């Protein structure tokens, strides 16, 4: 919720299906079929010396870009052929695909943005691959289409990404995302006529879009133009584009060539006077700078932060800035700062609480601060002087999304959801503290029969870790379980609605989410306890979650599958190596699997503050100990593994998964399948079309069902 999310974002039925009640412990099937014959993969004699340690990398050639390397292209084709042939044998695949399509088929909205008296929002009628941008001239007036990205490509893989509406509501700057990639092209739409202007801005990446108050242009961030799809990203900079001029004339606002691994994100204050710049070197502890846009030179002035604490602007009254910070407060606090002073000093407004302050916004004349209380949302109200003014009446246990509102206008909106409650958009009046539903989705499922529990368990070192467990109310005994984890970058995956998870739970399975260290559930200390040399805590927490699920007989002895994405994909690879006996199936998605070469591609250089640098000896030795690609244990029986990636992923390049799976297939780790599913034009995940999500999830759930013993019922 609020201004802080600008940074975090830029850094995405009438009856249940027939299924047996899981009162007795289901047995995972014994593997009796002949082992799969994998495609041959070329091994090269690549060995490097890292601080006296000889490290083999026989599959390095699989890092090559599929667009230019025919051998990699042929390898992908051969692997997909084997994977698809296996997936076609799974009886639950069609059942899951059919039900997922039904569960996605409901009308959904995003939080409206109010500009110039108009309301802008995205709506998906149900099974559209991409949500469509609409506008209304009044809150409940007729809507009209502004941008429909479903017309941009035949496969629906080109998406409408970031967008920003000018203060007067007359123009929209929007980003086109092609095939799931991170690079963006900006265009400008005239709202009244519906016509797209001639302006085109390329090479934007990891960026916000922020209009000048007068609508003359917008600020954005980008890297220099690069030729290679997987080229290392350096020198992120903030630019200003003036409407009606070519990109070559865009004005450079802020760059740090002496800090090439630092990224910068711009934001405009509600009064339009200042540009705020958040600068992040990958530590998730950014510095804060401001630009007085009334000055002629637009000089950048640093006001707070040194990469050792976090500073996020949430609002201002003239020169008095309200800022969320972790300085002296590991669970964050709200301070004010008069930036007119030569040396601004932070003064506490709302001190650190027992709950974790995640974000905030100044709406009307009220400070709204969003806290996590054991991973559940609570939005607290404060006067401008910090005096408590109660809480926002949320509709239940779940997660409140970003509040869309402006200083001086009490009308705002937010979304709220939980595992058993689809995302509902609420209108909120900050003056009266009243909420009302503005858009309520209707899902074809018996959500009243879905039970959401929060449990706590102990990790290896005694740390208390929260976990959500989701199941049908009639599933009272051990049942096949998918355990999800991430554990990095201070990110939190709170309890929110997901058709994918619901499809598994409807069949009688259990879905669990472990909120392990490395995330931001309990502030910066929780994050710090799971990064750099303490990364093993993340793996220990996740392993302990699996042990708890079995010890508590939530999961049968042979019924646990695990899933994680990106950093979480690395988590899955690491824990499978460390405890292959604990899991029956593993779903590592778009994972960072080679921890010695992640910094060689795209924006991987920014991850060294989370993982450490492979070029530093102490960091190398720590990374080498858990790197999934380098620690596969021949002679040990592994669970069934289905790795998932995409050939257009330019964040975690697919070579990570390619090399990892090639090494799995070459190792003596038992007869269960060790496969890779390679999607085309899907990227790292954001912007993925609905039909690709349905197909991918159906494959994963059918795979997990096969190896955990989940008996998939007939399609609805």
Which residues belong to the active site? Answer: 566, 684
495 C-beta neighbours (distance < 10 Å), count: 22
Which residue's entry shows tokens 């709302």? Answer: 350
Q: In whole angstroms, how far apart are CA 99 and each of 18, 428, 446?
A: 11, 34, 13
Helix (H, G, I), strand (E, B), or coil: what is residue 116? Answer: coil
Which residue's entry shows tokens 């830029």? Answer: 10
Contacts of 224 (CB under 8 A, 6+ apart): 203, 234, 235
What is the rounded CA–CA span in Å between residue 708 and residue 712? Answer: 11
CA 101 to chain centre: 22
Residue 591 in contact with residue 660, Cβ under 8 Å?
Answer: yes
What is the rounded CA–CA span in Å between residue 653 and residue 635? Answer: 29
CA 424 to chain centre: 20
- 217-241 burial, b if ≥16 CB within 10 A, otherwise e? bbbbbbbeeeeebbebbbebbbbbb
Take residue 704 and report the two structure tokens written for it.
Answer: 């997990």
Take residue 433 and report the two structure tokens written for it.
Answer: 């503290």
504 C-beta neighbours (distance < 10 Å), count: 29
- 421-438 burial, b if ≥16 CB within 10 A, otherwise e? bbbbbbbbebeeeebeeb
Residue 40 burial class via C-beta count within 10 angstroms: exposed 0-12, middle 13-18, buried 19 and up: exposed
What is the rounded CA–CA span in Å between residue 448 and residue 433? Answer: 28
Measured on CA atoms in the order 300, 302, 307, 310, is the torsion positive or negative? negative
What is the rounded CA–CA span in Å between residue 568 and residue 516? Answer: 11
What is the rounded CA–CA span in Å between residue 433 and residue 4? Answer: 22
Q: Among residues 103, 82, 139, 71, which one has the least CA distance to residue 498? A: 103
User: What strands lie across the sheet with 450-458, from one edge to the other?
Assistant: 450-458, 464-472, 510-514, 481-484, 560-565, 585-589, 640-646, 674-679
Which residue's entry shows tokens 């003239």? Answer: 318
674-679 and 640-646 strand pairing: parallel
What is the rounded CA–CA span in Å between residue 582 and residue 585? Answer: 9
Contacts of 623 (CB under 8 A, 6+ apart): 595, 596, 611, 612, 614
What is the rounded CA–CA span in Å between residue 57 and residue 76? Answer: 19
Which residue's entry shows tokens 């949320």? Answer: 394
Measured on CA atoms in the order 17, 21, 25, 30, is the torsion positive or negative? negative
Tabulate helix, strand, coil % of the chain (nearest 5).
Answer: 20, 30, 45
What is the rounded CA–CA span in Å between residue 702 and residue 213? Answer: 51
362 C-beta neighbours (distance < 10 Å), count: 24
Residue 182 in contact with residue 223, Cβ under 8 Å?
Answer: no
Take residue 647 and report the two structure tokens written for it.
Answer: 């050939």
39 C-beta neighbours (distance < 10 Å), count: 15
């Amino acid at each position: 919720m609020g201004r802080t999310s600008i940074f975090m974002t830029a850094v995405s039925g009438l009856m249940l299906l027939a299924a047996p009640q899981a009162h007795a412990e289901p047995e995972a099937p014994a593997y009796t079929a002949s082992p799969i014959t994998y495609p041959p993969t070329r091994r090269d004699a690549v060995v490097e010396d890292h601080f006296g340690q000889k490290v083999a990398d026989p599959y390095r050639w699989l890092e090559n870009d599929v667009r230019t390397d025919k051998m990699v292209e042929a390898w992908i084709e051969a692997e997909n052929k084997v994977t698809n042939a296996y997936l076609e044998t799974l009886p639950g695949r069609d059942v899951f695909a059919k039900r997922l399509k039904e569960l996605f088929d409901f009308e959904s909205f995003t939080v409206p943005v109010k500009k110039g008296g108009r309301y802008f929002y995205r709506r998906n009628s149900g099974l559209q691959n991409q949500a469509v941008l609409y506008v209304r001239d009044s809150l409940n007036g007729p809507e009209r289409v502004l941008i429909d990205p479903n017309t941009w490509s035949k496969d629906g893989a080109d998406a409408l990404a970031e967008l920003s509406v000018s203060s007067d509501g007359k123009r929209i700057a929007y980003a086109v995302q092609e095939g799931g990639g991170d690079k963006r092209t900006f265009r400008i739409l005239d709202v009244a006529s519906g016509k797209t202007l001639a302006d085109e801005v390329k090479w934007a990446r990891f960026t916000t879009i922020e209009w000048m108050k007068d609508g003359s242009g917008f600020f954005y961030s980008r890297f220099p133009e690069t030729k290679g799809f997987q080229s290392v990203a350096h020198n992120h900079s903030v630019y200003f584009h003036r409407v009606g001029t070519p990109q070559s004339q865009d004005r450079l606002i802020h760059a740090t060539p002496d800090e090439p691994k630092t990224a910068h994100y711009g934001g405009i204050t509600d009064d339009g006077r200042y540009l705020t710049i958040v600068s992040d070197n990958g530590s998730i502890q950014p510095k804060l700078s401001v630009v007085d846009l009334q000055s002629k030179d637009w000089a950048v002035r640093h006001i707070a932060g040194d990469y050792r604490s976090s500073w996020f602007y949430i609002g201002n009254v003239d020169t008095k800035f309200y800022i969320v910070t972790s300085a002296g407060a590991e669970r964050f606090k709200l301070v004010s700062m008069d930036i007119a002073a030569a040396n601004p000093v932070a003064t506490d407004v709302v001190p650190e609480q027992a709950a974790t302050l995640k974000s905030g916004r100044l709406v009307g004349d009220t400070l709204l601060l969003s806290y996590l209380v054991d991973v559940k949302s609570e939005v607290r109200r404060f006067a401008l002087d910090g005096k408590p003014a109660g809480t926002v009446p949320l509709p239940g246990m779940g997660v409140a999304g970003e509040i869309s509102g402006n200083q001086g206008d009490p009308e705002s909106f937010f979304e709220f959801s939980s595992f058993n409650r689809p995302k509902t958009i609420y209108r909120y009046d900050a003056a009266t503290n009243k909420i009302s539903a503005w858009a309520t989705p209707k899902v074809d499922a018996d959500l009243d029969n879905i039970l959401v529990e929060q449990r706590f368990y102990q990790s290896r070192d005694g740390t208390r870790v929260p976990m959500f467990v989701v199941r049908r109310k009639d599933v009272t005994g051990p049942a096949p379980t998918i355990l999800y984890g991430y554990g990095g970058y201070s990110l939190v995956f709170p309890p929110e609605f997901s058709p994918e998870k619901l499809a598994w739970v409807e069949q009688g399975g259990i879905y669990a989410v472990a909120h392990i260290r490395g995330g931001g559930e309990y502030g910066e200390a929780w994050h710090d306890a799971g990064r750099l040399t303490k990364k093993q805590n993340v793996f220990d927490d996740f392993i302990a979650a699996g042990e708890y699920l079995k010890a508590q007989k939530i999961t049968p002895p042979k019924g646990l599958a695990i899933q994680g994405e990106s950093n979480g994909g690395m988590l899955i690879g690491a824990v499978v190596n460390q405890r292959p006996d604990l899991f029956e199936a593993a779903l590592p998605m778009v994972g960072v699997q080679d921890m010695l070469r992640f910094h060689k591609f795209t924006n991987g250089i920014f991850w060294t503050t989370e993982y450490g640098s492979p070029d530093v000896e102490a960091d190398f030795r720590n990374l080498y100990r858990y790197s999934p690609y380098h620690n596969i244990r021949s002679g040990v029986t592994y669970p069934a593994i289905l790795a998932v990636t995409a050939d257009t992923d330019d964040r975690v390049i697919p070579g990570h998964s390619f090399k990892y799976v090639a090494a799995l297939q070459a190792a003596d780790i038992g007869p269960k399948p060790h496969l890779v599913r390679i999607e085309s034009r899907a990227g790292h995940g954001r912007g993925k079309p609905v039909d690709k999500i349905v197909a991918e999830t159906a494959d994963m759930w059918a795979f997990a069902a096969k190896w955990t013993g989940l008996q998939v019922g007939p399609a609805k």
